[in-house]
Structure formats: structure tokens, C-alpha cells
């Protein structure tokens, strides 16, 4: 919610930057008429996202807010940018051969029709997919529809005014405006920073598009899509640990969907491995959760198959490599007792009485567990990515 609400500052920056083009109460009646027409087109383009967004908001949060979805969206957006740029280049080349350079492209707001506005509005619905970006979706859509790049960016920014304002108020309404004084301060500060940053970005971006294409942004999205997956899994695993899952659960639950398992089953299956095997402080639960993920993803079930022995050996080597990476990050060990700096055990089976504590802020500060959970998730995610 915070990320959506603070975008209100970005919209204020857009209003400030385009004020002379969107304020319809001037002494110039013809200009006012053109601006009112523009606002009408913006309203039409806003409608698809407004209707669909309200209908599927809860579904999106439940199904699309995950690392894989974000990474795929980033790369999909990049592909669409390349296609849109190629389409625009072909159109310009055809017009050039016909001696109509510049003709046929929509370069001014007056050339935008109701049909074009609605088409861009439909493209904006892609932004409901986390990672697609509202501005990228609408600029891509506008270029597809024959807008010149600068006008595509301008219309995208202006379309963001009702869209983001509506999303911000919708989220505030769902939250009930019941924030503490501290939370209001954070929201206000975030909005102010958003305003300043957006103003700089809008000014730069509008100047950039007058000279250059969107292809560098497509390359950036691909690189980010590749890099973001392990980091997003890391964040999700750490959030799971903060929420109360033990170290093994936090890792396995993070990958449950990718492994074809529901979260409840993943949670039950990994519960016993927390705190170094049920509080025995043996192999770190985060490492155990990572090993369980690897077994579910790459393991074999038919041990009578001719190649079973070779595949088992291959899998053990995979686990050893993951353990080595984990130990390298953790300071040289995968043993819970050593990682926590506890005294060596005095008996073959020695449980730690200080287990199953609530994951308070103080608890998280004192122990390396949350970082170890993140490391385990990132290691497995990187392995998934490489395969």
C-alpha cells in the first residue's frame, strides 16, 4: 500500500510539469476547448483500468505479487518495447519512402481519437501485472497505436493523474485511513521525496525521447528481470521468517508454488527442521529448507531405475555445492550451533532450551537467522535460474 500511495507525489510532479497544457481555465477559449477534449480522452483511457482494477485487485495481490511473476513481467515488457520500436521504425520507413516523413504519426494531442485513447487505456491494464510498470505499459501501447514517442510519454504521464490518484485513494479507503501519527509522517515524507524525484525524471525523460528510442530501457528491463529473481525470493523468504515461520519453513514455503506444493503442506513438512533439527542446533534449518527445495525440484523417486545411482550421486554433489555456497556466505559453517556462537554440545543429543521464540525486532537483531534464510533462498533461486 505504501508504494502505491506515495506515487501521489509523482502525480503532483506531473501536474506541475504539464500545468500549462492541462489547466483548462485560461483566457484562450480555443485552448480551453482543446484541453477539455484532452481531459475527456484521458477519462476514456482511464476507464478500463478503473473497472478491471477494482474487480481483480484482491486476485492480483494473491496471485501476481511473487518473484517469478515480477521477473517475467520485466522481461515481457522488454520484448513489447522491442516490438513497438520495430513497428514504429517500419512505419517511419514506409512513410519516408512515400515522401511523407512525419506524416501518419500522431504528434500532437489534437490527433488523439477516442479509439486511440481507449486502446492505450487497455494497454494500461498490463500494469496490473507487478513488474510491468504503468508508464511502460501505456508508452508501449501508445507507440503501438502510432503515437510519436514524446506524445506517447506525455499522454502516459497525464493518464497517470487519474489512475494513480484513484489507486492511492482506493488503497487508503481499504486501509480505513486509520494510520498512526508516525505512519502519516512516513507517508508524507515518502510523497515529498516521490514528488522531487519524479519531477527530475519527467523532465529528463521528455527530453530524452525527443532524440532517442526506448531500446536501452528494454535492455535494462531484461537485465533487471534476470537479476531480480534471486533477490525477490530472498526478500520473500525473509518476510516469511519475520512473520513467524521457522528458518526451514521460511525457505520451503517461499518456493512452494514453484515446487507444486501448497504452503500448508510445505510448512508442515519443514517444521521439524527448524532451529537446527527441532532445536538440536545441528544443520541450520535454512540450509535444510534449501536442501528440501533442491530434492523436490531435482530429486528422483524411482530408485530401481538403471541410472538411479548416477542421479543420486549427481544430486548429492548438487547439495554439496549449495552447502559450500551457504558456508561461504555464513562464515564457514552450516551448523546452527556454530552459526549462533553457542557452546559445543556435551552430549550426542543436546537440545537448546532457548528455542521457539517470537520473531520480534529485538530477536531479529541479535541473531543472523534472517540473513541466513535470505542466503538460502537466494542460492536456490540462482540454481533455479541457471537451470
102-158 confidence digits (pLDDT tens)? 556 888 999 999 999 999 999 999 988 888 888 889 999 999 998 988 999 999 999
pLDDT of res. 287: 98
Residue 1 has pLDDT above 60, yes or no: no
Q: Are residues 252 and 123 in the same domain?
A: no
Provide the 3-class DSSP secondary structure of residue 65.
Answer: coil
Q: Are residues 250 and 197 in the same domain?
A: no
Terminal CA-CA length for the chain? 34
Mean pLDDT of 174-199: 81
Supply angle C-alpha 261, 263, 266, rounded to 5.
Answer: 70
360: left (phi over 0), alpha (psi -120 to 50) or beta: beta
Instruction: Convert the pLDDT of each residue in 158-178 to its tens digit.
Output: 998 887 787 777 766 766 666
Q: Are residues 117 and 247 in the same domain?
A: no
pLDDT of res. 58: 75
Q: Are residues 284 and 183 in the same domain?
A: no
Which residues, listed in sequence order, are joined to residue 236 by a DSSP beta bridge?
none
Where do the H-state alpha helices sit in 6-66? 7-17, 19-22, 29-63
Q: What span, in angstroms and rounded, lies between the C-alpha atoms of 288 and 277?
A: 8
Q: Are residues 125 and 236 in the same domain?
A: no
Instruction: Give me the count of residues in the chain.
Output: 387
Which residues, listed in sequence order, are joined to residue 371 by a DSSP beta bridge?
none
Residue 6 has pLDDT above 70, yes or no: no
Task: Considering only CA atoms, give the Rg of the chain.
Answer: 26
83 — pLDDT class (breaks 50, 70, 90) = very high
Q: Are residues 203 and 248 in the same domain?
A: no
Which residues, listed in sequence order, are joined to residue 335 by a DSSP beta bridge?
283
368 — pLDDT class (breaks 50, 70, 90) = very high
Q: Are residues 195 and 248 in the same domain?
A: no
CB 125 within 8 A of CB 177: no
Instruction: Please give the model's pTM, rounded to 2 decimal places.
Output: 0.69
Q: Are residues 277 and 205 in the same domain?
A: no
Mean pLDDT of 318-328: 97
The listed range with the strongest mean pLDDT (57-61, 144-148, 227-231, 240-244) is 240-244
Domain range for 297: 230-386
Residue 302 has pLDDT above 70, yes or no: yes
- CA 360, chain centre distance (Å): 26
CB 123 within 8 A of CB 9: no
Q: Is residue 106 part of a domain?
A: yes
Q: What span, in angstroms and rounded, lies between the C-alpha atoms of 223 and 231?
A: 13
Backbone phi and psi for residue 368, each to the nearest 5 degrees, phi listed first: -85, 5
How many other β-carbons are positioned within 10 Å of the β-carbon of residue 342? 15
pLDDT of res. 184: 78
Residue 5 has pLDDT above 80, yes or no: no
Q: What span, in angstroms and rounded, lies between the C-alpha atoms of 24 and 31?
A: 7
Burial 189-210 (b: 16+ CB within 10 A, else e): ebbeebbeebbeebeebbebbe
Burial class (CB in 10 A: 0-12, 13-18, 19+), 298: middle
Q: Is residue 57 part of a domain?
A: yes
Residues 6+ apart with CB under 8 A from 229: 67, 68, 71, 381, 384, 385
Q: What span, in angstroms and rounded, lies between the C-alpha atoms of 275 and 372?
A: 12
pLDDT of res. 94: 67
pLDDT of res. 2: 55
CB 286 within 8 A of CB 376: yes
Among residues 180, 213, 246, the one where a domain terminates is 213
239 — pLDDT class (breaks 50, 70, 90) = very high
Among residues 213, 242, 266, the one where a domain terminates is 213
Q: What span, in angstroms and rounded, lies between the C-alpha atoms of 94 and 229?
A: 40
Mean pLDDT of 19-26: 93
Mean pLDDT of 305-326: 96
Q: Are residues 324 and 367 in the same domain?
A: yes
Residue 101 has pLDDT above 60, yes or no: no
Q: Are residues 207 and 268 in the same domain?
A: no
- What would the grid cell of residue 55 be? 474487480
pLDDT of res. 383: 92
The chain-wide mean pLDDT, for the chain, equals 89
Residue 82 has pLDDT above 90, yes or no: yes
340 — pLDDT class (breaks 50, 70, 90) = very high
Query: What's 284's DSSP letter?
Result: -
Query: Does residue 279 or residue 68 have the better pLDDT?
Result: 279
Q: Are residues 120 and 195 in the same domain?
A: yes
345 — pLDDT class (breaks 50, 70, 90) = confident
Q: Is residue 219 part of a domain?
A: no
Mean pLDDT of 303-325: 96
Half-sphere exposure of 200 (CA within 13 A, CB side): 5
pLDDT of res. 173: 72
Mean pLDDT of 67-83: 90
Give the residue from 93, 90, 88 showing the smallest Cα distance to 107.
Answer: 88
Domains held by the chain: number: 2
The listed range with the strongest mean pLDDT (8-12, 173-177, 180-184, 203-207) is 203-207
Amino acid at each position: 500500500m505504501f508504494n502505491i500511495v506515495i506515487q501521489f507525489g509523482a502525480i503532483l510532479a506531473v501536474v506541475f510539469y504539464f500545468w500549462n497544457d492541462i489547466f483548462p481555465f485560461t483566457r484562450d477559449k480555443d485552448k480551453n476547448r482543446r484541453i477539455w477534449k484532452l481531459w475527456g480522452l484521458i477519462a476514456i483511457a482511464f476507464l478500463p483500468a478503473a473497472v478491471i482494477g477494482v474487480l481483480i485487485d484482491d486476485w492480483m495481490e494473491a496471485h501476481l505479487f511473487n518473484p517469478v511473476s515480477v521477473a517475467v513481467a520485466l522481461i515481457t515488457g522488454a520484448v513489447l518495447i522491442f516490438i513497438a520500436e520495430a513497428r514504429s521504425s517500419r512505419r517511419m520507413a514506409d512513410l519516408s519512402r512515400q515522401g511523407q516523413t512525419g506524416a501518419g504519426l500522431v504528434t500532437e494531442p489534437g490527433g488523439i481519437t477516442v479509439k486511440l485513447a481507449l486502446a492505450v487505456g487497455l494497454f494500461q491494464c498490463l500494469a496490473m501485472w507487478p513488474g510491468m510498470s504503468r508508464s511502460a505499459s501505456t508508452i508501449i501501447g501508445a507507440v503501438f497505436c502510432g503515437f510519436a514517442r514524446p506524445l506517447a510519454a506525455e499522454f502516459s504521464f497525464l493518464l497517470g493523474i487519474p489512475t494513480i490518484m484513484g489507486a492511492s485513494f482506493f488503497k487508503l479507503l481499504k486501509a480505513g485511513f486509520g494510520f498512526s501519527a508516525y505512519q502519516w509522517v512516513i507517508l508524507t515524507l515518502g510523497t515529498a521525496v516521490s514528488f522531487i524525484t519524479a519531477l527530475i525524471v519527467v523532465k529528463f525523460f521528455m527530453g530524452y525521447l525527443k532524440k532517442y528510442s526506448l531500446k536501452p530501457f528494454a535492455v535494462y528491463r531484461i537485465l533487471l528481470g534476470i537479476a531480480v529473481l534471486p533477490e525477490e525470493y530472498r526478500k520473500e523468504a525473509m518476510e516469511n521468517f519475520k512473520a513467524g515461520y521457522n528458518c526451514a519453513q521460511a525457505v520451503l514455503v517461499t518456493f512452494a508454488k514453484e515446487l507444486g506444493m501448497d504452503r500448508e503442506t510445505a510448512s508442515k513438512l519443514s517444521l521439524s527442521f527448524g532451529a537446527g533439527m527441532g532445536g538440536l542446533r545441528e544443520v541450520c534449518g535454512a540450509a535444510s529448507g534449501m536442501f528440501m527445495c533442491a530434492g523436490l525440484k531435482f530429486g528422483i523417486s524411482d530408485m530401481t531405475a538403471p541410472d538411479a545411482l548416477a542421479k543420486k550421486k549427481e544430486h548429492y554433489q548438487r547439495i554439496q555445492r549449495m552447502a559450500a555456497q551457504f558456508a561461504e556466505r555464513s562464515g564457514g559453517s552450516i551448523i546452527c550451533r556454530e552459526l549462533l556462537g553457542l557452546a559445543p554440545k556435551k552430549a550426542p543429543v543436546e537440545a537448546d532450551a532457548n528455542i521457539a521464540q517470537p520473531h520480534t525486532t529485538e530477536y531479529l537483531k541479535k541473531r543472523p537467522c534472517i540473513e541466513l534464510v535470505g542466503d538460502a533462498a537466494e542460492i536456490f533461486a540462482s540454481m533455479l535460474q541457471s537451470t
